[in-house]
Structure 1
């Protein structure tokens, strides 16, 4: 299927031909993906969009395809341009598509201090083009994909090289292009976050579950939902939302009937999978494996929210460090969290290095993962906090 402005690619042979056309084009590749977050369990890409000047826009349906090697080889030839790259890179990596060079227009916009950094807002401000975002939260696993959705997906990616040039021009004028290059390189090689040892503890509202027995029921319901969500590739919250798990545990039903009668126990699978949920509750009610309070991950800092009461000296240092970071971020016209990650500031407040000179602070921040441009800006000002 081909429109006047883009080509739909659905087979391996079409992808090989598209890869050849892209290889003959010029300049960086605009790259984007569409997923089905909120609908599917997986984070896989259900559409991959690629644009290159002189080649055109290609909308690639990865469902059923087996060989992405030709596209990977072509894309290795130049820079990729993405907006909020950390959202797209994992699903692209699943297809064997990994950038050798990267330009992130969203991250670049943050470093410029733009007030709004969504693709639509940045495109309107820098290119004067209004983008409709009507389909950004759609279920992209739908087949066939509606024509209007494809038009939306094609326009987004076709503007990325022009947007890249506009952001780069402003970064260079602000003296921040080197900052951005280091940030883009860090995003490109950043490893995925390690999985939580007890992911069920992240349940929204789960902090209201206090007793070990309630925690056990919460855990068993979470795992039962996760197992069904994974096997059916449906987002867990579409089966039963977090609020339903909290409601069920709080009500402490004595039978499957009582659970079914609970009006706050909702979700598309709340009744069709009632036996599954009741068995999970029974396991929680009867198990001898009762969870205790949440334990800190090895090496993790205690929550800074409790420092004022338990660790006042660290709390005072954190307040002062945050103040100088905020002041410098305002001078640099960027958000404080882009000037230096808040987690690194907390590490410094919790355990300052023996050498609190600018050089000593820089060494410690580098060990924690700060980039060279950040060290040059923040190490001298952070060191002032430790001067007697």
Structure 2
């Protein structure tokens, strides 16, 4: 088995793959010590089982033919748990593969369970146990061994049959449109675009005052830009708890900054320390009128616990009847929201989820349908009104 290491051979391979209705795709990457994932290997296979391994680290290779294939509307790109792979392609090329089919999402819709792993899916469909001995391999090291390359190729070869079976099940059960809705989200730029100015939204801590909130926004944005430009994890710049402590204490001198325990000794005299102090000083100097308004806490009418429990029972029954993982249909937060608001802005009240569950949940609340026990089976029945 050989790696494709030059652009001409990559172009030939992608032209061959483009002649097929679908290709299976996977990647191997590292991101433990970087902000941006380092793409180390690309694996592809055609429906006939021919595999192609591409070395994106090879000197002089241009991945343009690969990205052309990813953009080819005539070819379905099949992934399992595609989000990280697609994020890498988007950050490298500024475009998103299309059309895409994610077998993990499809498996949840077809009754294989929630977030089924690649290994579990292949075992259920093909009865094959995938070798995971190289799961934690450093894929950036060269040369790759034959065993490593066989392991990598297996991830796309064994994906062919599950894709074909899942696609057939979706067609047979008239659920193709369900997956189309999910893939639209998966291939939306909004799913992957994160501006530094929005980085504060990732933080789990909450500011208590407008000046703290402004400091949090500026510190998170600064850290995001630094991490991106230096290509290091965010925590290598400063950790989340440091941002929180700075926002609360707002130190504006090196001596005050040195009192933050989570910072290493001498940090207050570093370049990063100076940047943090500059941000704090600028925030302190802002006029109160220029500070952001505190977000209003979402106030939702408290639903009766019995209503929530009833909707959970309904979800369990719908999940079993339709053979769809329950969390794929509605989350606990969705149920809480629906229980208190018929117009809640949740996924369970839109698209295919509303079709199989959301509308029924609203009808249960209105007393238009009821849940009844028939022997050992729960039934959803229409209520006859006088």
TM-score for both structures, normalised by structure 1: 0.71
Larger mean CA deviation between 340-349 and 237-246 belongs to 340-349
**1:369 Cα shift?**
4.0
**1:83 Cα shift?**
0.6
Task: Confirm or deny: 8 A CA contact 1:38 1:238 kept in the other structure.
Answer: no
CA distance in 1, matches of 2:281, 2:357: 57
Task: Confirm or deny: 8 A CA contact 2:96 2:189 kept in the other structure.
Answer: no
CA distance in 2, matches of 1:9, 1:204: 41
Asked if residue 332 in structure 1 is aligned to residue 322 in structure 2, the reply is: yes
CA distance in 2, matches of 1:37, 1:314: 45
| Corresponding residue of 2:116 | 117
Trace 1:96-111 onto structure 2 (pairs within 5 A): 96=95, 98-100=97-99, 102-111=100-109
| Corresponding residue of 2:292 | 291
CA distance in 2, matches of 1:145, 1:319: 57
Task: Confirm or deny: 8 A CA contact 1:29 1:75 kept in the other structure.
Answer: no
**Counterpart of 2:105 in 1: which secondary structure?**
helix
Trace 1:350-365 onto structure 2 (pairs within 5 A): 352=342
Number of matched pairs: 352
Task: Confirm or deny: 8 A CA contact 1:39 1:139 kept in the other structure.
Answer: no
**Structure 1 unpaired stretches of 5+:** 296-301, 354-363
Asked if residue 178 in structure 1 is aligned to residue 158 in structure 2, the reply is: no
Asked if residue 370 in structure 1 is aligned to residue 366 in structure 2, the reply is: no
Deviations 1:103-132, CA, capped at 9 Å, x for gaps: 322112212143661223333444321331
| Corresponding residue of 1:51 | 45
Gap change, CA 1:115 and 1:235, over 3 Å in 2: same
Gap change, CA 1:34 and 1:183, over 3 Å in 2: farther
Gap change, CA 1:313 and 1:164, over 3 Å in 2: closer
**Counterpart of 1:189 in 2: which secondary structure?**
helix
Task: Confirm or deny: 8 A CA contact 1:105 1:163 kept in the other structure.
Answer: yes
Task: Confirm or deny: 8 A CA contact 1:15 1:70 kept in the other structure.
Answer: no
**1:276 Cα shift?**
1.8
Trace 1:1-388 onto structure 2 (pairs within 5 A): 4=1, 7-23=2-18, 28-37=22-31, 39-42=33-36, 47-52=41-46, 53-61=48-56, 65=62, 67-68=64-65, 71-72=68-69, 76-92=73-89, 94=93, 96=95, 98-100=97-99, 102-111=100-109, 112-114=111-113, 117-126=116-125, 127-132=127-132, 135=135, 142=140, 147=145, 152-165=151-164, 167=166, 171=169, 177-179=173-175, 181-190=176-185, 191-193=188-190, 199-207=198-206, 209-260=207-258, 262-265=260-263, 271=270, 273-288=272-287, 289-295=290-296, 303=298, 306-307=299-300, 311-312=301-302, 320-340=310-330, 352=342, 369-371=350-352, 375-376=355-356, 379-380=359-360, 382-387=362-367
Gap change, CA 1:342 and 1:38, over 3 Å in 2: farther
**Counterpart of 1:117 in 2: which secondary structure?**
coil
Task: Confirm or deny: 8 A CA contact 2:80 2:104 kept in the other structure.
Answer: yes
**1:350 Cα shift?**
5.8
CA distance in 2, matches of 1:200, 1:214: 15
Deviations 1:257-291, CA, capped at 9 Å, x for gaps: 44245331269x99552222222222233323323
TM-score for both structures, normalised by structure 2: 0.72
**1:327 Cα shift?**
3.0
CA distance in 2, matches of 1:279, 1:113: 53
Gap change, CA 1:204 and 1:340, over 3 Å in 2: closer
Gap change, CA 1:103 and 1:221, over 3 Å in 2: closer
Deviations 1:45-65, CA, capped at 9 Å, x for gaps: 554321123532222518862
**1:164 Cα shift?**
2.3
**Structure 2 unpaired stretches of 5+:** 369-386
CA distance in 2, matches of 1:192, 1:252: 36
**1:186 Cα shift?**
1.9
**1:155 Cα shift?**
2.8
CA distance in 1, matches of 2:174, 2:149: 35
